[in-house]
Amino acid sequence: MSSTVRFLHHPTSQPCRAVQQLMLETNTPFDEQIINLMDGENEQQSFKDKYNPTGQVPILCDDGFVVWESSAIAFYLNEKFNFPENWLGVSAQQRATIQQYCHWHTSFLRRGAGAFFYTHFAECIWGKQDYSKEIAKGRAILDDSLGYLENWLSKNIYLCGDQISFADLQAYHELVSHVAGAIVNETHWVKHPQVKNWFDTISERPHSKTVNGMIMQVGAMRLAGDLIPMTRKTSLAKGTEITLENYR
């Protein structure tokens, strides 16, 4: 296997940013390839056949080996590059705790991304429509998830203990998007002060600022009423069945 991996991603994607920050934090050697999600490069059958049948990013290529799903990528990189133990754990218990969060994340906080997507991106794809049901569902999942995070962070400095781990990066980058799009605001922070302290702590890491640049710009554009040009036809939000046909 090569000493340098190839990372296929887009900087507006929350899971992509989590993996990218992990690689930056650990000085992992990688070459990057930006996948044009806005124009649907990832929707092409040739892309799905070559890299990921779902068309989702991030994707990691290591010579002829291809792996997708952010958590799987993180654990693969840890095995390959032997990261400091805090990121993915070294003992069976540490690894299980971090994996436990990663599994929970997929079913809870990650699904709350619909609040951000349907508030700010759906109109760019399908035009002005009533997306209120999707937005309400995403907000409900997000609010529920914030309650879990608040509880965990009342016991530990970070989600899986006293040191930052990949679990924190996964959760953090979901909330970065919600902050960029003003989905999470002062009302949420007052209700979840432990989450706010944790969020602010991770935001101060130099690589956080590097990775967050584009999503903050995109959020500012949408809050100003500017549309993001898109020619793609399907949702960017994982776990949704909505396509163009649903909104004709």
pLDDT of residue 3: 85
Task: Work out whether the CA dihedral 61, 67, 68, 74 comes out positive or negative.
Answer: negative
For the chain, residues classed under CATH 1.20.1050.10 are 88-247
Span between the terminal Cα atoms of the chain, in Å: 47
Q: Residue 238 — very low, low, confident or very high, per pLDDT cuts 50/70/90?
A: low
State the span(s) of the chain assigned CATH 3.40.30.10: 5-85
* 81-133: pLDDT as tens digits: 999 999 999 999 999 999 999 999 999 999 999 999 999 999 999 999 999 99
pLDDT of res. 247: 47
Helix axes 193-203, 166-180, angle to 10 degrees: 100
Q: Which of 136, 135, 140, 143 lies closest to 189 in space, CA to CA?
A: 143
pLDDT score at 244: 46
Task: Please give the pLDDT value at position 233.
Answer: 80
| pLDDT, tens digit (0-9, with 9 covering 90-100), for 198-215 | 999 999 999 999 999 999
Which pLDDT does position 52 carry in this prediction?
96
Fold entry, domain 88-247 = Glutathione S-transferase Yfyf (Class Pi); Chain A, domain 2 (1.20.1050)
pLDDT tier at 239 (50, 70, 90 boundaries)? low
Write out pLDDT tens, residues 28-72.
999 999 999 999 999 999 999 999 999 999 999 999 999 999 999
Tokens of 199: 């969020």
Is it the case that residue 141 has pLDDT exceeding 90? yes
Q: Does domain 5-85 bear CATH number 3.40.30.10?
A: yes
Please say if the pLDDT value at position 248 is more than 50. no
Distance (Å, rounded) from C-alpha 214 to C-alpha 218?
6
